[in-house]
Structure 1
Amino acid sequence: MISDEVKKGSTRAAHRSLFYAMGYSPEDLTKPLIGIVNAQNEIIPGHMHLDQVAEAVKYGVYAAGGTPAEFPAIGICDGIAMGHEGMKYPLPSRELIADSIEAMAVGHKFDGLVLIPNCDKIVPGMLMAAARLNIPAIVMSGGPMMAGRYQGQDISVSTMFEAAGKFESGQISGEELHDMELSACPGCGSCAGMFTANTMNCMSEVLGMALPGNGTVPAVNFGARRMLAKQAGKRIVEMVKADVKPRDILTHKAFENAITVDMGIGGSTNTVLHLPAIAYEAGVELPLDLFNEIAQKTPYITKLSPGGTHHIQDLFEAGGMQVVMKELSAKNLIHTDIPTVTGKTVGENFAKTKNSRPDVVHSVNNPYRPTGGLAILRGNLAPDGAVVKESAVDEAMLKHTGPARVFDSEDEGIAAIVDKKINKGDVVIIRYEGPKGGPGMREMLNPTSVIVGMGLDKDVALLTDGRFSGASRGAAIGHISPESAEGGPLALVEEGDIIEIDIPARKLNVRLTDEELASRRAKWVRPAPRVTTGYLARYAKLVTSASTGAVLK
């Protein structure tokens, strides 16, 4: 066992003394040492209950003959960080999480890890660490939040971001806004729609790194969650004994499965950042064009919030990710013969599942759309690609041509939208918000939600080298690469330039000649860094393009 390096031999007497100081027994030190990475905190609703999950995991580890040792991981709530300077930190925190787990795991010679995340960047950060370390690991998330209820309708946090636009445009009163605030988020769990957190929890299951049910068993279903957590604790000990490692599971085929399911469920655009980043740590290359290639042959078979009215609890009732994979496998779109943390193959895991809610998960013969939920766009405005959640775009905006309204920060863009300076037909450009330029590639749920709330989502597009929340909907095109701070074409656009969007054709262009772009580029001056000290300054120097997952090199 790896942990023997800190437990066995005369030169480890001092090490054992330190274990005994914490109450470990000599017998405990003969067993596999399992790190329990608990991201519990009191600032993220999805994490407030993770101590209960960790406790159940420990029971499973003990029962299977292992010794658990818990340590923490940080986590930022994207919702609370949204719309201000704090949103520069969530994506960079992904790297901090991966690095800190690496430091703890190697420093203490754990034999295996149970990773307990729940929200946006914490899930991929932990998966990146698992792939990098390549010691037995399993993800055990906290589960999704239930949808709230208001006037007989299911609502969630995305409803509230859009409600701000309705209030600003006079569609609802301040009293109604307050009543909705009190109803939208009823308790613990990752926000109720197919936003980034739930997309990534589902992806951890589809990748084979989490047990079936991990992505969809509700957080408040304590019995089922605790049973799943005990199983995860038991499985990690068995995986250590069998020497089953993440890179045995995180193969190219596993990532193809994840992209396929992502397209089938209309997952968050952030997966186009996170899946390549996890793959990078696993030594697997995921070019952006692979997303389009898979999208073209994958039917969109669920329509969850923000693209539809169903929430994760409805997907859970249908049978969750295992039913989605089974439906997609009917069209031979899923690799069924690859391993998972259960010890069974993908196909063996879903063999006995049944679709209990065909109104939620459609068959591949009756999809909502014949092609996948996400699209990668290219053109003279995005030579290295851009991403849009096509399934959440109104049909009227799939093709759009309009004048550019240019803003050099999210704050400027939001101010113009709220002040009603944006007109129907406009293409709002928010630039210098990429990984380097932001720095940190801020997530922009505020501007998209206000546009939707003001009823402009059928008339106004929003383009950025930043990114959008999984809760965003409308013609919101992000990750435009190369980013503005690196001299990408977005930096050369001027007020009034005509932007041409053709999502079905996967095109994003500005109506300018190559000569005009070259002339503007020759005059362009790189802006001074917005942040010159601290972690973000170091991050900006090391981070790569969004088109390669915004990893650090």
Structure 2
Amino acid sequence: MTRKLRSNFPRGSYLWAVRNAQWQALGIPEADCEKPKIAIVNSSSGLAACFAHLDGIVPVLKEAIRAAGAIAFEVRTAAPSDFVIGAGGRGGYILSTRDLVTNDVEVAVEGAQLDGMVCLTSCDKTVPGQLMAAGRLNIPTLMVACGYQPSGEYQGEHVDIEDVFVGAMHAQVGHLAMDKLIGMSRNAIRGPGVCSGMGTANSMHIVCEALGMALPGSTPVAANSEAMFETVRRAGQRIVEMVWEDLKPRDILQTAAFGNAVKTILSVGGSVNTVKHLQAVATESGCGADVYGMFERFADEVPVLAGVRPVGEHFIEAFESAGGARAVMKQLGDLLDTEVVTCTGRTLAQNLHGVEVADEEVIRPRSRPVANKPAIMMLRGNLAPEYGIVKTGVIERKVRRFSGPAICFSTSDAAIAALKNGEIRPGHVVVMRGAGVCGGPGMGGGSSRMVFAIDGAGLGEQVAMLTDGHLSGLVCKGLVVAEVSPEGAVCGPLALVEDGDTISIDLDTRRCDLEVSPEEVARRRAAWKPSPKQFDSGWLQIYRRNVGPLTEGAVLVTPR
């Protein structure tokens, strides 16, 4: 099978000659320079366990690509880990680096006019960043999930990174001994890979398979396992076939594929961050899918079929053993559009043919779900004219409607200090604003810390919270409406709330409202002045000035 490759130039031309010289110096024979050229997108970093093993995967993948009749070029991108790079810029580097990854990929792969790419997906922002690049560049692409980390044990109890995150905030409010927190932190992670719960990373790995951009049966997977390396070898073979077939991301990333991904995430109670990430991928792919609307529309159609920590009681290892994403999609059956094309060149129906679920207690049939009520809800109202998102979990909530006086904060530090001082009391609705994509900028992790601090203070069922910031995919506590949009920094309604205003949240009607007269709101809007802009130099000011709205995925847009 042959076709003209975009990476090849006429022999003796300027581009042929200078590339041949460069590649000869790398030990690549001239004959190989005519073969398909595949990028291995490697978001490796020595800063975090999430990425520590990726360099060891590259040689295996290179050999598989070589055996399939192509040559591989490793390219690097930024590698954001929430728990490490969240220390600077008020957490602004976390989400913003997703778009930096996209542009890193474009520079290397589009600049070199390579023919295809395999993306080694790891921590949660690299996955959508790489998918966004695939949609933008539209060259044959495969996503390879590089696996979750092994968790540990401390004082005879299971401990993972979620426990450490929660424990750190409990310790701040005096509800966990510091010695225990230190012990937990030293034992929570026993090897490389992403967070071991159904947080954003594992949720996005599952998204890759549900979209049809990862090989069937490849997610989730334990890092450095034989199952992971078998997928790596299969991917090396398949990407070369995809180049010759000219099977491109935009052939796969159609509206129906996004619908399948949304339904799959709803069925596993996945991370709320998949909403904006999927929307960003749809935006970059140019398919016009309204992912926010899909989450709103499908919430009541799709039961929760699997409860993996932190949503349910099962560990990710059990979910993988039960069949993972492929088994969930098999159980969803006719709720999915199974005629969509996938990276195999076959339809989803063909990929699922003959699949059996190994454990129907872990991944249940639709006739016996974990929960019938959605684990992710989209709220609207005069405080969230576009959307606010609630992670409801799978346990029936005691509190489905909450109404109380607002207490407002512009930073998580101020909110946590007020909590420690007893200023936040039962009945309050905590409002945290200025944490959105523009205001943060980049939606830092302060909102998540506040949720866990409230939980640690024993107020999880007695206090509600609204924020235009985002939540870690590991957050599933309390009544929290996150990513309220439009955000406060652009004079969204959250910016106009004052201490003592009554706010009502109703999960049954999916409403979030400020009980203040329209005339008073109009007066406040006329008097509103924006807060001083954060970060007027460097990457964060570039991001702040160019990021688009959440409903479009918060992707970088043409300067306004």
- Normalised to the residue count of structure 2, the TM-score between the two structures is 0.95
Residue from 482, 495, 499 that aligns with 1:495:
499
Alignment equivalent of 2:208, drawn from 190, 204, 207: 204
**Aligned equivalent of 1:41, options 45, 49, 61:** 45
Which of 380, 383, 386 is the equivalent residue of 1:384? 386
- Shift in alpha-carbon separation, 1:86–1:342, aligned structure 2, 3 A: farther
- One-letter code of the match for 1:135? I
Give the match for residue 524 of structure 1.
528
Task: Structure 1 unaligned segments of length 5 or more: list them.
Answer: none
C-alpha contact (below 8 Å) 1:7/1:15 kept by paired residues:
no
Deviation at 1:6, TM superposition (A): 4.7
2:233 aligned residue (205, 222, 230): 230
Secondary structure at the aligned position of 1:225 is classed as helix
Match of 2:265 among 259, 262, 265: 262
Contact 2:38/2:72, CA 8 A, preserved across alignment? yes
Change (3 A) 1:186 1:392: farther
Which residue matches 2:375? Answer: 373
Residues 1:361 and 2:363 are matched in the alignment? yes
Q: Which moved more, 1:272-281 or 1:521-530?
A: 521-530
Cα distance, 1:310 vs structure 2: 1.9
1:546 equivalenced with 2:556 (yes/no): no
Question: Which segment is superposed worse, 116-125 or 390-399?
Answer: 390-399
Distance between the aligned counterparts of 2:252 and 2:133, measured in 1? 14
Alignment-derived partner of residue 402 in structure 1? 404
Quote the Cα distance in structure 1 between the aligned partners of 2:398 and 2:360: 28
SS of the residue 2:505 aligns to: strand
- 1:140 aligned counterpart, secondary structure: strand
**What's 1:324 paired with?**
328
Match in the other structure for 1:430: 432
Change in Cα spacing, 1:220 to 1:425, as seen in structure 2 (3 Å) is: farther
Runs of 4+ in 1 over 6 A off after TM superposition: none
Deviation of the 1:394 alpha carbon: 6.5
SS in 1 for 2:366: coil
User: Partner of 1:296: helix, strand, or coil?
Assistant: coil
Q: CA deviation at 1:381?
A: 0.4
Q: Is the 8 A contact 1:539 1:552 kept in 2?
A: yes
Quote the Cα distance in structure 2 between the aligned partners of 1:299 and 1:161: 29
Contact 1:38-1:72 at 8 Å conserved across structures: yes
In the TM superposition, what are the counterparts of 1:170-185 in structure 2 within 5 Å? 170-185=174-189
How far, CA to CA, are the matches of 1:93 and 1:489 in structure 2?
A: 27
**CA deviations over 1:167-214 (Å, ceiling 9, x no partner):** 345443222222211221221111011111111111011101011233
Is the Cα–Cα contact under 8 Å of residues 147 and 311 in structure 1 kept in the other structure? Answer: no
The answer for the alignment partner of 2:91 in structure 1 is 87
The alpha-carbon deviation at position 258 of structure 1 amounts to 0.3
Q: Which piece of structure 1 moves more, 167-176 or 366-375? A: 167-176
Deviation at 1:15, TM superposition (A): 2.0
Question: 2:56 — aligned with what?
Answer: 52
CA–CA distance in structure 2, aligned partners of residues 393 and 165 of structure 1: 23
Larger mean Cα displacement after TM superposition, 513-522 or 441-450: 441-450
Identity %: 37
The answer for the alignment partner of 2:249 in structure 1 is 246
Say whether 1:478 aligns with 2:482. yes
Question: Structure 2 CA distance, aligned partners of 1:252 and 1:549?
Answer: 15
SS at match of 1:452: helix
Alignment size in residue pairs: 550
Correspondent of 1:24 among 24, 28, 33: 28
Tell me, what secondary structure is at the counterpart of 2:299? helix
CA RMSD of aligned residues (A): 1.7
Q: Distance in 1 between matches of 2:417 and 2:173?
A: 14
Matched residue type, 1:307: V
Measure the CA separation in 2 of the matches of 1:174 and 1:413. Answer: 21
Q: 1:415 to 1:286 in 2, by over 3 A?
A: farther
Partner of 1:67: 71
Please say if 1:154 is aligned against 2:162: no
Is it true that 1:280 corresponds to 2:275 in the alignment?
no
What one-letter code is carried by the residue in structure 1 that aligns with 2:439?
G
What is the deviation of 1:393?
7.5
Question: Corresponding residue for 1:338?
Answer: 340
Alpha carbons of 1:430 and 1:281: their partners in 2 closer, same or farther (altered >3 Å)? same
Question: How has the CA–CA distance of structure 1 residues 319 and 172 changed in structure 2, closer, same or farther, with 3 Å as cutoff?
Answer: same
Query: Are 2:301 and 1:297 aligned?
Result: yes
CA contact (8 A) 2:7 2:112 kept: no
Residues 309, 455 of structure 1: CA spacing in aligned structure 2 closer, same or farther, 3 A cutoff? farther
C-alpha deviation, 1:107, in angstroms: 1.3
Aligned residues of 2:86 and 2:94 also touching (Cα < 8 A):
no
Counterpart of 1:111? 115
- Name the amino acid aligned to 1:466: G
- Residue 351 of structure 1: CA displacement? 2.1
Shift of 1:166: 3.2
The one-letter amino acid paired with 1:360 is V
Given that residues 371 and 394 in structure 2 are in contact (C-alpha distance below 8 angstroms), is that contact kept between their aligned partners in structure 1?
A: no
Contact map agreement 1:310 1:360 (CA 8 A) in 2:
yes
Amino acid of the residue matched to residue 255 of structure 1?
Answer: F
**Residues 394, 458 of structure 1: 8 Å contact kept:** no
SS in 1 for 2:74: strand
Residues 146 and 224 of structure 2 are in contact (CA less than 8 Å); yes or no, is this contact kept in structure 1? no
**Alpha-carbon deviation of 1:3?**
4.3
Q: Deviations over 1:28-79 (max 9, x none)?
A: 1121010111111111211100112222211210111010111111111112
Amino acid at match of 1:409: T
Q: Work out which of the residue numbers 456, 460, 472 in structure 2 matches 1:457.
A: 460
Contact 1:149/1:184, CA 8 A, preserved across alignment: yes
The answer to whether the Cα contact below 8 Å between 1:437 and 1:530 also exists between their aligned partners in 2 is yes
- Which structure 2 residue ranges, 5 or more long, are not aligned? none
Q: Which residue identity does 1:399 align to in structure 2?
A: R
> 1:284 is aligned with what amino acid?
C
CA distance in 1, matches of 2:394, 2:329: 21
- Distance in 1, matches of 2:76 and 2:295, equals 34
Mapped to 1, the partners of 2:25 and 2:388 lie a distance apart of 54
Query: Hey, what's the Cα distance between the residues in 1 that align with 2:269 and 2:155?
Result: 27
Greater shift, 170-179 or 1-10, is seen at: 1-10
Shift of 1:83: 6.4
Task: Please tell me the residue identity of whatever aligns with 2:275.
Answer: V
For residues 127 and 39 of structure 2, the distance between their equivalents in structure 1, rounded to whole angstroms, comes to 16
2:144 corresponds to: 140
Pairwise mapping of residues 405-424 of structure 1 onto structure 2 (< 5 A)? 405-424=407-426
SS at match of 2:398: helix
| Distance apart, 1:86 and its partner CA | 5.0
Q: How far did 1:535 drift? A: 1.6
Deviates more, 1:245-254 or 1:51-60: 51-60
Distance (Å, rounded) in 2 between the aligned partners of 1:415 and 1:81: 23
Is 1:194–1:268's contact at 8 Å kept on the other side of the alignment?
yes
Change (3 A) 1:128 1:4: closer
Distance 1:526 1:10, change over 3 A: closer
Single out whichever of 109-118 and 443-452 deviates more from structure 2.
443-452
Deviates more, 1:224-233 or 1:283-292: 283-292
Aligned match of 1:534: 538
| Counterpart residue identity of residue 194, structure 1 | M
Q: Contact conserved, 2:304 with 2:394, CA < 8 A, in 1?
A: no
Task: Give the conservation status (yes or no) of the 8 Å contact 2:406–2:429.
Answer: yes
Quick one: distance in 2 between partners of 1:425 and 1:368?
30
Deviation at 1:151, TM superposition (A): 4.2
Is 1:77–2:67 an aligned residue pair? no
- SS of alignment partner, residue 62 of structure 1: helix
**1:449, 1:473 within 8 Å by CA — same for their partners in 2?**
no
